[in-house]
Amino acid sequence: MIIILKQNAAQESIDRLRSVLDKHDVKINEITGAHKNIMGLVGDTSHIDIESLMAQDCVENVQRVQEPYKNANRKFHPEDTVIDCGNVKIGNGSLQIIAGPCSVESEEQIITTAVAVKEAGATMLRGGAFKPRTSPYSFQGLREKGIELLIKARSITGLPIVTEIMSAADIDLFADIDVIQVGARNMQNFELLKALGRVNKPVLLKRGLANTIEELLMSAEYIMSEGNQQVILCERGIRTFETMTRNTFDVSAIPLIKQKSHLPVCADPSHAGGLTSLIEPLSLAAIVAGADALEIEVHNDPRSALSDGGQQLTPARFAEVMEKIKAAAGFMGRSIV
């Protein structure tokens, strides 16, 4: 950690800063510059709050040198983490394809879709039971009933199931779910993250609309610091000024997360673009950029969907896209099992 002192800082304030730092087990190295002085802190600075240093009168700026995440940091855990998700593994060099509808709407809908995506080569089933919608007047999901239907679809197809949680109060309902998803809007719902940190189950953590890669890793850290190390990170597009797409798919996040962290990375081309025509190119881009999994919205009849109709693929189109996905996985030496 580096502390840049203000020009002409009062000695009294510098002494006060020094006494604050003395409470931490760090050594202070000083550099005297022409205009500004600098302190370099050597030792474990992870528990030092930058803001508390910024509040000292003599401090102009404070910069971290070490990453603020530990459990998620590849430096302290060089080998890739592999996560068991029911009968498939994410992070072991394979490519897992999580497909299914935005929302679970009915038994017929989820089972028809599940059978179709399995047929096309998907290895996991997604479907929303609890739905975060911008408008309170939009369909809010079947909730408990939706989870029951997902479990039924799994019993028929054998596909492990991924579904989103919106409140820690509902955790018990997810006891028989294979992977619990945290949506973009809850990426910094810290109470929910802590609760999921005390569960022994994989968590698929989506990047928030306006969250940096470092903040995503810090949210993973919330889960991991409570004990649960089974976190899969998901790039799903960020909010920018561009309006032609729903979000801007930050494909760079995939290789960067894999450099910084040992956790597996999933990509969601459906939400990133918000356009069915982009699902194929964004899926291929994610694969060659290093993604371990893709999450793709497929609906047996998108024109009748109760949510996200405009970005869900038909089973027929999904089957076509899967052919390209399989080829790209082969090109990258990844198997889809």
Binders in 194-253 for a copy of itself, by CB under 8 A: 194, 208-210, 212-215, 218, 221-222, 225-226, 238-245, 248-253
Rg (CA), the chain: 23
Asked if 23 is part of the footprint of a copy of itself (rule: CB under 8 A), the reply reads no
Smallest gap from residue 247 Cβ to a copy of itself (A): 9
Smallest gap from residue 328 Cβ to a copy of itself (A): 7
Residues 27, 252: Cα–Cα separation, whole Å? 37
- DSSP assignment of 217-236 equals HHHHHHHHHTT---EEEEE-
Smaller CB separation from a copy of itself, 20 or 337: 20
Q: How far is CA 54 from CA 17, 24, 30, 46, 109, in A?
A: 10, 16, 17, 16, 55
Assess contact for 4 and 62: CB atoms under 8 A: yes
Smallest gap from residue 281 Cβ to a copy of itself (A): 4
What type of residue sits at position 279?
Answer: I
Binds a copy of itself (CB under 8 A): choice among 11, 51, 200, 333: 51
Residue list 130-169, contact with a copy of itself (CB under 8 A): 130, 132-139, 166-169
Binds a copy of itself (CB under 8 A): choice among 6, 9, 68, 152: 68
Asked if 278 is part of the footprint of a copy of itself (rule: CB under 8 A), the reply reads yes
Asked if 316 is part of the footprint of a copy of itself (rule: CB under 8 A), the reply reads no
- DSSP assignment of 181-218 equals EE-GGGTT-HHHHHHHHTSSS-EEEEPPTT--HHHHHH
Asked if 289 is part of the footprint of a copy of itself (rule: CB under 8 A), the reply reads yes
Asked if 79 is part of the footprint of a copy of itself (rule: CB under 8 A), the reply reads no
Smaller CB separation from a copy of itself, 158 or 310: 310
What DSSP state is assigned to residue 24? Answer: S
Binds a copy of itself (CB under 8 A): choice among 156, 331, 335, 337: 331
Smallest gap from residue 222 Cβ to a copy of itself (A): 5
Smaller CB separation from a copy of itself, 92 or 132: 132
Binding to a copy of itself by CB under 8 A, coded x per residue (else -) over 174-193, reads -----------xx-xxxxx-
What type of residue sits at position 224?
Answer: M
Structure tokens at 42: 């050597």
Residues 46, 67: Cα–Cα separation, whole Å? 9
- HSE of 270, CA atoms in CB hemisphere, 13 A: 25
Residues 106, 111: Cα–Cα separation, whole Å? 8
- HSE of 25, CA atoms in CB hemisphere, 13 A: 4
Binds a copy of itself (CB under 8 A): choice among 80, 92, 148, 281: 281
Smaller CB separation from a copy of itself, 153 or 286: 286
